[in-house]
Amino acid sequence: MLPSAWCLLHTIVMEERLQKLIASAGIASRRHAEQLITAGEVTVNGKVVTELGTKADPASDHIKVRGKLINTSLQRRENVYVLLNKPRGCLSSVTDPEGRPTVLELLPASLGRLYPVGRLDFNTEGLLLLTNDGDFTNFITSARNKVEKVYEAKVKGVPEEQAIQRLRRGVVLDDGTRTAPARIRRLGETETNAWFEILLHEGKNQQIRRMFELIGHSVLKLRRARIGFLRDDELKPGKWRQLSEDEVKLLTRTRHQTRSKTITNKSHAAGHGTSRQ
């Protein structure tokens, strides 16, 4: 192979987008990395880079974020994938200016710098993924990959079936955005409350709470029970475990997400009902 051809091949294979490299180094999430670039806080070989999409090769380029070289972090960093059962009263963020507890406080520092994959709001509990792999985060959170998120909701009052059908078709929220069609299954009800299971592929801010508010029924309790095929009923609130290599591969295998699976089996639904008060 000619030297020029070898150099071209090396460039194609080794260069990556700066925001991906910054996220892989554990400096910031992909979105925050883009903000750092446009703010002029990233340099490559001593030159400030502000254009998104700029690529670099960590094997030959010196990449700095806010004056700190990140090449060493890229060389020694391994991808980490954590499944956490987020408790209520905890933020799905890295920090909080108000000093409220965050999900990172539930994890040991030995795991390194991790970022939540999507979000659960302050009063929502359930399964949350955290990782330092920007590509993994993008895959799980992108609606086009149809990674299923299943939630269990207790709502005030008993909505009529016609109202639930409206939510299934998709509704326009208070900010003018329209929700995609959702799978909603009624799990049970009393004279004062009802329980539902909701399957979504998207994740707008407080979407389920806003959907039910729209039909006049506030959500009293909300829990995410499944992400893709991942369901871990043995994982107590506040506890976590690392994903296996096989679990990571299955989560990011598109063909496993394109056809919806049964939300839960009948035995689980029956068991769920026995604990309601």
Active site residues: 121
Strand ranges for the chain from DSSP E:
16-17, 42-44, 47-48, 55-56, 63-65, 68-69, 81-86, 115-116, 125-131, 149-156, 183-189, 193-200, 219-227, 240-242
Sheet with 68-69: list strands edge to edge: 47-48, 42-44, 63-65, 68-69
Q: Which residues of 103-132 are buried (b: 16+ CB within 10 A; e: fewer)?
A: bbebbeeeeebbbbbebbbbebbbbbbbbb
Q: Which of 52, 57, 30 is nearest to 39 (CA)?
A: 52
